[in-house]
Structures are given as C-alpha cells and as structure tokens.
Amino acid sequence: MRPGLGSDFMRAVEASLASIERNPEYYQIVFDTARRALLRRFPYALIYSIEPGAIVVLACLHTRQSPERWQRRVE
C-alpha cells in the first residue's frame, strides 16, 4: 500500500462529485434512473440518481462488483 493513496482516492471522489454537480445529466443511465460516473485513476464508480432538488449518491463501488449490489438500492 502506498502512503497517501487514501487521500488520492478521496480527491478522485471529490472531483467526480464536483463534475456530477456541474452537469448531472452528462453521465449515462445504467439502471432505471441511476447514472454512473467513473473515478479517475481508480477502478471505482459513483452510482447516483437525480431527484427533485438533489443528487443522491446510491453507491461507491469497485467496477468489478456485481451490479445487483447497488441495483437493490434503487428498486
């Protein structure tokens, strides 16, 4: 494990959240109304939905995880 990797990961999450906030409809719909934004440098994705007046992050998961793990959250 490399020192500072956790901080790098958090910066990648924050950058992705900022991008979602700027243009929430930019990312593709992957299930029902849920969208996926990939993190830079890390094999993780933020799964989110656009609700009236809010963006709701449903999951932050490794891209090799089964989609069923987060799909249950949006049903």
Q: What does the pLDDT average to over 2-27?
A: 94
Model confidence at 1: pLDDT above 90 = no
pLDDT class of 41 with cuts at 50, 70, 90: very high
Domain count, the chain: 1
Instruction: Give dist(CA 37, CA 16) in Å, integer.
Output: 7
Query: Which residue segment(s) compose the domain that 49 sits in?
Result: 5-74
